[in-house]
């Protein structure tokens, strides 16, 4: 049977133009590793993106409403924070020495398990700074679950006695404690109205004259105008108004030259710049003998 020339030519052209079949290329090891771990990476990526978006929204709300008046929004995001595990787990307190921890805890106003995003560091800082011992506070929120509280305390400066009451004050005269006065060690004693706010300046002047300072038992404010120094031996030193530094320097010189402060005196008056007035202590007069008593009655009779 004769071959059809046209059909044979068509088959030959088809054989020349057909693309040879190739086996699919084998995937690389990196592609296999990524494909196997894609199921593990996807939740972590979504979680990170969610936290980032949540942080942006919180910052935007805080910028628009710094006082936190949009509480419903905060509560809504608080629920989201709980879903991501953003709850209070740890509270770190730094700088505390005399401030009661229960007062700080109450002012902080947060407990373990509370939503982190509902906690306001600024409001907590303002509450903590109302505590008498606290001069300055810093409150920081560290995600996911830590709150840092750093305080700077007022330093106990002196014991202030006024109207029969004793309290601990700082250099500015602010009362920081009213009980447990002995636990702060030896402190200067200030007495009288106004001594709380003006005693620091006089104390600094006294420190420049150690011979005088070591003999002072109390600094007494007189009529809110001037000072007396009560010494350990009972002597009162009367200082001039507004010229305490000059008088105390003079007193130090008298002590170094003549041991004036060690004498049995009732008072040393330095109020006049050009003179020194000394008042001796009163000594008991000797009792009269019977013969002297009779002579005295005879003279009176």
The predicted pLDDT at position 263 comes to: 94
Q: Domain map of the chain by residue range?
A: 86-153, 158-280
Q: What residues does 229 pair with on adjacent strands?
A: 219, 237
Residue 73 CA, chain-centre distance (Å), reads 32
In this predicted model, what pLDDT tens digit does every residue of 38-90 receive, in sequence order?
Answer: 655 555 555 555 555 555 544 554 555 554 444 444 444 445 445 456 899 99
Query: Given CA atoms 265, 267, 269, 275 in this order, what sign does their dihedral have?
Result: negative
Does the pLDDT of residue 107 top 60, yes or no?
Answer: yes
What's the CATH architecture for 86-153? Roll (3.10)
The CATH superfamily holding the domain 158-280 is: Cell division protein FtsQ/DivIB (3.40.50.11690)
Q: What is the mean pLDDT of the chain?
A: 81
The predicted model scores a pTM of: 0.65
147 within 8 A of 141, measured Cβ to Cβ: yes
pLDDT at 288 over 50: no
Residue 148 pLDDT greater than 50, yes or no: yes
Q: For residues 286 and 135, give the distance between their C-alpha atoms in angstroms, rounded to a whole number.
A: 60
- Dihedrals phi, psi of 123, to nearest 5 degrees: -65, -40
């Amino acid at each position: 049977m004769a071959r059809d020339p046209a059909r044979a030519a068509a088959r030959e052209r088809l054989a020349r133009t057909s693309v040879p079949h190739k086996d699919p290329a084998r995937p690389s090891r990196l592609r296999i590793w990524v494909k196997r771990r894609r199921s593990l990476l996807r939740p972590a990526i979504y979680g990170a993106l969610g936290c980032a978006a949540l942080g942006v929204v919180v910052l935007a709300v805080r910028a628009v409403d710094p006082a936190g008046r949009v509480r419903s929004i905060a509560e809504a995001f608080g629920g989201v924070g709980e879903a991501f595990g953003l709850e209070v787990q740890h509270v770190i307190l730094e700088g505390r020495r005399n401030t009661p921890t229960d007062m700080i805890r109450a002012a902080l106003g947060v407990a373990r398990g509370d939503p982190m995003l509902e906690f306001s560091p600024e409001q907590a800082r303002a509450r903590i700074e109302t505590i008498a011992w606290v001069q300055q506070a810093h409150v920081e929120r560290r995600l996911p679950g830590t709150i840092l509280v750093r305080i700077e305390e007022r330093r106990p400066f002196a014991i202030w006695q006024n109207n029969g009451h004793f309290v601990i004050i700082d250099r500015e005269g602010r009362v920081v404690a009213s009980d447990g006065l002995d636990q702060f060690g030896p402190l200067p004693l200030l007495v009288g109205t106004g001594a709380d706010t003006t005693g620091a300046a006089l104390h600094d002047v006294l420190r420049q004259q150690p011979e005088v300072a070591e003999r002072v038992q109390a600094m007494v404010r007189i009529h809110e105008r001037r000072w007396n120094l009560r010494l350990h031996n009972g002597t009162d030193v009367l200082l001039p108004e507004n010229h305490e530094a000059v008088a105390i320097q003079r007193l130090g010189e008298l002590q170094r030259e003549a041991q004036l402060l060690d004498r049995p005196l009732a008072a040393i008056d330095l109020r006049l710049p050009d003179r020194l007035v000394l008042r001796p202590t009163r000594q008991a007069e000797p009792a009269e003998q019977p013969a002297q008593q009779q002579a005295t009655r005879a003279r009176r009779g």
